[in-house]
Structure 1
Amino acid sequence: MSVVLPFLAFLLAGAFAAYHRLRLAIWAGITALLLVGCWMLGANHAATIVAAVIVALIALPLVFAPIRKSLVTPPLLKFYTKLLPPLSDTERTALESGTVGFEGELFSGKPDWKQLLDLPKPELTAEEQAFLDGPCEELCRMTNDWEITHVRADLPPEMWDFLKRNKFFGMIVPKEYGGLGFSALANHKVIQKIASISSVVSSTVGVPNSLGPAELLMHYGTDEQKRHYLPRLADGRDVPCFALTGPFAGSDATSIPDYGIVCKGQWNGEEVLGFKLTLNKRYITLAPVASLIGVAFRMYDPDGLLGGDIAGGSRDIGISLALVPRDVPGLEIGRRHFPLNSPFQNGPIHGKDIFIPLSQLIGGRDMAGHGWRMLMECLSIGRSITLPSTASGGSKMGAVTVGSYARIRKQFGLSVGRFEGVEEPLARIAANAYAISALSQATAAAVSRGENPAVPSTIAKYHCTQMGREVSKDVMDILGGKGIILGPRNFAGRSWQAAPIMITVEGANIMTRSLMIFGQGAILCHPWVMKEMKAAQLQDQKQRIDQFDTALFGHIGFAISNAVRSWWYGLTASKIGSAPGDDDTRRYFRKLDRYSAALAVMADTSMLLLGGKLKFKESLSGRLGDVLSQLYIASAMLKRHQDEGSPAGDQPLLAYAFHDAINKIETALSTALRNFPIRPIGWLLWLVIFPWGRRAQAPGDRLGHKVASLLMTPCDARDRLAAGVFTTPGEHNPAGRIVSYLPKFVLAEPVERKFLKALKNSDIEALEFDAQLDEGVREGWITADERRQLEELRTLTLDAITVDDFDPEELRSAGYADLVAGERTSPRAVA
Structure 2
Amino acid sequence: MTLILLLIIAVIVLFGITDVRRQIISKPIFGFFKKVLPPLSQTEREAMEAGTVWWDGELFSGKPDWQQLHNMPQGQLSDAEKAFIDNQVDTLLRMLDDHATVENKDLAPEVWDYLKKERFFSMIIPKSYGGLEFSALGASTIVARIASRSLTAAITVMVPNSLGPGELLSHYGTEEQKQRWLPGLADGTEVPCFALTGPEAGSDAGAIPDSGVVCMGEYEGEQVLGLRLNWEKRYITLAPVATVLGLAFKMRDPDGLLGDKKEIGITCALIPASHPGVELGNRHNPLNMSFMNGTTRGKDVFIPLDWIIGGQDYAGRGWRMLVECLSAGRGISLPALATSAGHVATRTTSAYCGVRQQFGVNIGQFEGVQEALARITANTYLLEAARKFTVGAIDMKQKPSVVTAIAKYHMTEIGRQIINDAMDIHGGKGIQLGPKNYLGNQYMAQPVSITVEGANILTRNLMIFGQGATRCHPYVLSEMEAVAMEDSDKALKVFDGLLFSHMLYGARNAGVSLLSALTGSRIQSTPVAGETGRHYRNLSRLSANLALMSDLAMATLGGSLKQKEMISARLGDVLSQLYLASAVLRHFEAEGRQQGDLPLVHYSVEKCCYEAANALEEVIRNFPSRPMAWLAKLLIFPVGNHFCMPKDALAQAVCQTVAKPNVVRERITHLCALPEGHEDGISEVESAFVALSEMQPVIALIKKAMKKGKLPKQAITPELIDLAADEDVISSAQAEQLQRAWKLRLTAIHVDEFASL
The Cα offsets for residues 422-459 of structure 1, whole Å up to 9 and x where unpaired, read as: 00100000111111111122111100000001001100
Q: 1:70: how far off?
A: 5.6
Counterpart in the other structure of 1:57: 10
Alignment of 1:678-827 (within 5 A): 678-728=625-675, 730-755=677-702, 758=705, 761=709, 772-808=720-756, 811=757
Q: Give the secondary-structure state (helix, strand or coil) at the position aligned to 1:209.
A: coil
Counterpart CA distance in 2 for 1:733 and 1:143 is 11
Contact 2:692 2:738 in 1 (8 A): no
Counterpart CA distance in 2 for 1:164 and 1:426 is 39
Instruction: Say yes or no: does 1:75 pair with 2:22.
Output: no
Change (3 A) 1:120 1:774: same
Counterpart CA distance in 2 for 1:207 and 1:715 is 35
Instruction: Say yes or no: does 1:491 pair with 2:444.
Output: no
Alignment of 1:43-192 (within 5 A): 47=1, 49-69=2-22, 72-150=25-103, 152-192=104-144
Change (3 A) 1:336 1:551: same
Q: Give the secondary-structure state (helix, strand or coil) at the position aligned to 1:217.
A: helix
Counterpart CA distance in 2 for 1:216 and 1:52 is 64
Contact 1:172 1:181 in 2 (8 A): yes
Q: 1:743: how far off?
A: 3.0
Equivalent position to 2:413, from 447, 466, 478: 466
Instruction: Say yes or no: does 1:608 pair with 2:555.
Output: yes
Q: Give the secondary-structure state (helix, strand or coil) at the position aligned to 2:159.
A: helix
Contact 1:426 1:474 in 2 (8 A): yes
Alignment of 1:286-301 (within 5 A): 286-301=238-253
Counterpart CA distance in 2 for 1:729 and 1:301 is 60
Alignment of 1:527-546 (within 5 A): 527-546=474-493
Counterpart in the other structure of 2:510: 563
Q: 1:730: how far off?
A: 4.3
Q: Which amino acid aligns with 2:143?
A: I
Contact 1:442 1:636 in 2 (8 A): yes
Q: 1:623: how far off?
A: 0.5
Segment of structure 1 superposing worse, 583-592 or 68-77: 68-77
Counterpart CA distance in 1 for 2:37 and 2:47 is 17
Q: 1:77: how far off?
A: 2.0
Contact 1:730 1:736 in 2 (8 A): no
Equivalent position to 2:330, from 364, 379, 383: 383
TM-score by length of 2: 0.97
Give the gaps of 5 or more residues in structure 1: 1-46, 812-831
Change (3 A) 1:61 1:680: closer
Q: Give the secondary-structure state (helix, strand or coil) at the position aligned to 2:282.
A: coil
Instruction: Say yes or no: does 1:524 pair with 2:476.
Output: no
Counterpart CA distance in 2 for 1:457 and 1:772 is 56
Contact 1:711 1:718 in 2 (8 A): yes
Q: Give the secondary-structure state (helix, strand or coil) at the position aligned to 1:247.
A: coil
- Say how many residue pairs are matched: 756
Counterpart in the other structure of 2:165: 213
The Cα offsets for residues 265-293 of structure 1, whole Å up to 9 and x where unpaired, read as: 22223221111111110000111111111
Contact 2:360 2:716 in 1 (8 A): no
Q: Which amino acid aligns with 1:801?
A: I
Instruction: Say yes or no: does 1:329 pair with 2:282.
Output: no
Alignment of 1:226-375 (within 5 A): 226-306=178-258, 308=259, 313-375=260-322
The Cα offsets for residues 316-366 of structure 1, whole Å up to 9 and x where unpaired, read as: 211111111110111111421111121211001111111111111111111
Counterpart CA distance in 2 for 1:650 and 1:604 is 37
Q: Give the secondary-structure state (helix, strand or coil) at the position aligned to 2:416.
A: helix
Equivalent position to 1:578, from 505, 514, 525: 525
Counterpart in the other structure of 1:648: 595
Contact 1:730 1:737 in 2 (8 A): no
Contact 2:692 2:742 in 1 (8 A): no
Q: 1:738: how far off?
A: 2.2
Q: 1:54: how far off?
A: 2.0
Alignment of 1:394-433 (within 5 A): 394-433=341-380
The Cα offsets for residues 625-673 of structure 1, whole Å up to 9 and x where unpaired, read as: 1000000000010000000011111110111111111111111111111
Q: 1:541: how far off?
A: 4.2
Counterpart in the other structure of 1:822: none
Counterpart CA distance in 1 for 2:231 and 2:538 is 51
Change (3 A) 1:769 1:627: closer
Counterpart CA distance in 1 for 2:673 and 2:383 is 17
Counterpart CA distance in 2 for 1:430 and 1:288 is 38
Q: Give the secondary-structure state (helix, strand or coil) at the position aligned to 1:136.
A: helix
Contact 1:426 1:711 in 2 (8 A): no
Q: 1:686: how far off?
A: 0.7
Change (3 A) 1:276 1:377: same
Contact 2:328 2:404 in 1 (8 A): yes
Counterpart in the other structure of 2:395: 448
Q: Give the secondary-structure state (helix, strand or coil) at the position aligned to 1:539.
A: coil
Change (3 A) 1:572 1:320: same
Q: 1:185: how far off?
A: 1.2
Larger Rg: 1
Counterpart in the other structure of 2:153: 201
Contact 1:323 1:362 in 2 (8 A): yes
Counterpart in the other structure of 2:584: 637
Q: 1:774: how far off?
A: 3.9
Counterpart CA distance in 1 for 2:536 and 2:558 is 32
Counterpart CA distance in 2 for 1:770 and 1:553 is 79
Q: 1:375: how far off?
A: 0.9
Superposition RMSD in Å:
1.8
Equivalent position to 1:503, from 435, 443, 450: 450
Q: 1:772: how far off?
A: 4.5
Counterpart CA distance in 2 for 1:105 and 1:411 is 50
Counterpart CA distance in 2 for 1:577 and 1:301 is 59
Counterpart CA distance in 1 for 2:371 and 2:543 is 29
TM-score by length of 1: 0.89
Contact 1:334 1:350 in 2 (8 A): no
Q: Give the secondary-structure state (helix, strand or coil) at the position aligned to 2:336.
A: helix
Contact 1:401 1:736 in 2 (8 A): no
Change (3 A) 1:806 1:510: same
Q: 1:213: how far off?
A: 0.5
Q: 1:775: how far off?
A: 3.7
Segment of structure 1 superposing worse, 200-209 or 59-68: 59-68
Q: Which amino acid aligns with 1:248?
A: E
Counterpart CA distance in 2 for 1:769 and 1:629 is 50
Change (3 A) 1:623 1:769: closer
Q: Which amino acid aligns with 2:305?
A: L
The Cα offsets for residues 161-186 of structure 1, whole Å up to 9 and x where unpaired, read as: 11111111000101111101111111
Contact 1:487 1:804 in 2 (8 A): yes
Q: 1:488: how far off?
A: 0.2
Change (3 A) 1:537 1:765: closer
Q: Give the secondary-structure state (helix, strand or coil) at the position aligned to 2:624.
A: coil
Counterpart CA distance in 2 for 1:691 and 1:583 is 28
Q: Give the secondary-structure state (helix, strand or coil) at the position aligned to 1:363.
A: coil
Give the gaps of 5 or more residues in structure 2: none
